Amino acid sequence: MKHIQYLLPWSPPGTERSLSLFRFGSGSRKAYIQASLHADELPGMRVAVELKRRLGELEEQGRLRGVVELVPVANPIGLGQMIQATHQGRFDFASGKNFNRDFPELAEMVAPRLEGRLGPDASTNVRLIRSAMREAIDAMPAATSQLDGLLRLLLQQACDADLVLDLHCDFESIMLLYALPQHWPALRGLAAHLQAGAALLAESYGGNSFDEACSVPWLRLAERFPTANIPPACMATTIELRGMADTDRGQAEASADAILAFLAEQGLIEGHWPAAPDGGCEATPFSGAQYACAPHPGVVSFLQPLGARVRVGDPLFEVIDPLSDRQSVVRASTDGILYARERLRFAQPGLWLAKVAGSTPIRHGRLLSD
**What is the contact surface with Zn ion in residues (CB under 5 A)?**
38, 41, 168
Considering the complex, what minimum distance in angstroms separates the CB of residue 43 from Zn ion?
10
H/E element, 298: strand 298-302
Rounded Cα–Cα distance for residues 284 and 133 (Å): 31
CA 219, CA 155: separation in Å to the nearest integer? 17
Question: To the nearest whole angstrom, how small is the minimum distance from the Cβ of residue 174 to Zn ion?
Answer: 15
Q: Give the up-direction half-sphere exposure of residue 36: CA atoms within 13 A in the CB hemisphere.
A: 29
> 245 or 275: whose CB is closer to Zn ion?
245
- CB nearer Zn ion, residue 130 or residue 168: 168
| Radius of gyration of the chain measured on its C-alpha atoms | 21
Residue 41 C-beta: closest distance to Zn ion, Å: 5
**Nearer to Zn ion among residue 25 and residue 72 (C-beta):** 72
Burial track 276-304 (b if 16+ CB lie within 10 A, e otherwise): beeebbebbbbbbbbbbbbeebbebebbb
User: Which residue number, 44 or 66, has a Cβ lying nearer to Zn ion?
Assistant: 44
Name every residue whose Cβ is closer than 8 Å to that of residue 331 and which is 6 or more positions away in sequence. Answer: 312, 313, 314, 315, 316
Q: How far is the CB of 223 from Zn ion (least distance, A)?
A: 28
Whole-number minimum distance, CB 257 to Zn ion, in Å? 22
Query: Which amino acid, 82?
Result: M
* Least distance to Zn ion, CB of residue 196, Å: 16
Q: Are 273 and 264 in contact (CB under 8 A)?
A: yes
Instruction: Compare residues 92 and 160 and give the one whose CB is closer to Zn ion.
Output: 92
- Sheet holding 163-170: strands in order across? 2-7, 18-24, 67-71, 30-35, 163-170, 235-243, 176-179, 198-201, 283-285
Q: Measured from the CB atom, is 114 or 200 closer to Zn ion?
A: 200
